[in-house]
């Protein structure tokens, strides 16, 4: 259902998204921040990664 409330997304929506996902381009990989969702987040390391990426884009 297009234009519907995102909170109503179900398993079928997730399955379609997973089927259509594309790998990141090399440029996207360079600026991507990886987060291991199986572990407790290291918020300070994440903050630093995001801040570093923001500085790269300003160049």
Segments making up each domain of the chain, as ranges = 25-59
Residue ranges in the chain modelled with pLDDT below 50: none
pLDDT at residue 6, as a whole number: 80
pLDDT at residue 52, as a whole number: 82
What would the two tokens of residue 59 be?
């160049």
Mean pLDDT of the chain: 85
- Check residue 3 and give left, alpha or beta (phi > 0: left; psi -120 to 50: alpha): left
pLDDT at residue 38, as a whole number: 95
**Distance in angstroms (rounded) separating the CA atoms of residues 31 and 24:** 10
What would the two tokens of residue 50 be?
């995001």
Helices and strands per DSSP (H, E), number in the chain: 3, 0
pLDDT at residue 55, as a whole number: 63
- pTM across the whole model: 0.50
pLDDT at residue 35, as a whole number: 86
């Amino acid at each position: 259902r297009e234009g519907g409330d995102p909170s109503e997304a179900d398993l079928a929506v997730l399955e379609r998204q997973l089927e259509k996902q594309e790998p990141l381009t090399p440029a996207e990989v360079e600026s991507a921040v990886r987060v291991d969702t199986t572990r407790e987040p290291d918020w300070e390391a994440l903050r630093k990664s995001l801040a570093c990426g923001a500085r790269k884009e300003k160049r």
